């Protein structure tokens, strides 16, 4: 039976659930329509085809991971905020693999026509300000962190860590490496206790 009161938000939410449960590659209008109890052409009333649906899932994921990062880091600063944010990033990526995949494959989202409620990049930039990293260096710092976190969670999700050593410990050590790096980041840095670090060239 067709679902009553179907809206664009409900379609996107159902599509995101499908992507998380069955994989990003399984996402199709036909599959989403079946879950919504409507014919595939009916979805065009709510989303701009498959490409538009994928984009909306990416926006949903960006807002959600941004909110997770913000909640994790609220009230914290410096090293504590970074640790909390990194663990929140990993938790979201593993819990919502389809939405996370949308974020990676449909970047960049930071364009004039996309308004995020909670931009994860801005949240991370706020965290890095606690390390005294100069504004003109923050993009590079965020890229470095994102690359490391993404590489770790992607390998973890794909079962790429086959050795018996504890994966949680490996992740914690990765984060601690960035804590140390940001304390001495080129262009400025602050230690975890809030003391200005010695600047390097």
pTM of the model: 0.85
pLDDT in tens, the chain (201 residues): 445 589 999 999 999 999 999 999 999 999 999 999 999 999 999 999 999 999 999 999 999 999 999 999 999 999 999 999 999 999 999 999 999 999 887 655 555 566 778 888 889 999 998 999 887 888 899 999 999 999 999 999 999 999 999 999 999 999 999 999 999 988 665 544 343 433 333
Backbone angles phi, psi at 117, to 5 degrees: -70, -40
Report the sign of the C-alpha dihedral through residues 117, 120, 125, 127, in that order.
positive
Checking 17-23 for CB contacts under 8 A at 24+ apart, the result is 18/98, 19/57, 19/97, 19/98, 19/99, 19/101, 19/102, 20/95, 20/96, 20/97, 20/98, 20/99, 21/98, 22/98, 23/97, 23/98
Residue 42 DSSP symbol: G
């Amino acid at each position: 039976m067709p679902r009553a009161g179907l809206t664009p938000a409900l379609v996107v939410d159902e599509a995101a659930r499908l992507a998380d449960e069955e994989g990003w590659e399984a996402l199709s209008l036909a599959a989403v329509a079946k879950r919504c109890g409507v014919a595939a052409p009916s979805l065009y009333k709510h989303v701009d085809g498959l490409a538009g649906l994928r984009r909306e899932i990416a926006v949903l994921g960006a807002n959600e991971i941004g909110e997770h990062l913000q909640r994790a880091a609220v009230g914290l600063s410096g090293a504590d905020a970074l640790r909390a944010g990194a663990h929140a990033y990993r938790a979201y990526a593993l819990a919502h693999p389809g939405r996370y995949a949308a974020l990676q494959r449909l970047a960049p989202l930071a364009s004039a026509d996309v308004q995020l409620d909670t931009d994860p990049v801005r949240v991370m930039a706020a965290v890095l300000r606690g390390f005294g990293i100069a504004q003109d260096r923050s993009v590079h710092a965020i890229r470095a962190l994102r690359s490391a976190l993404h590489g770790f969670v992607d390998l973890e999700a794909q079962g790429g860590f086959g050795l018996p050593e504890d994966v949680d410990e490996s992740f914690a050590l990765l984060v601690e490496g960035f804590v140390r790096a940001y304390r001495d980041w080129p262009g400025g840095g602050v230690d975890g206790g809030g003391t200005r670090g010695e600047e390097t060239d």
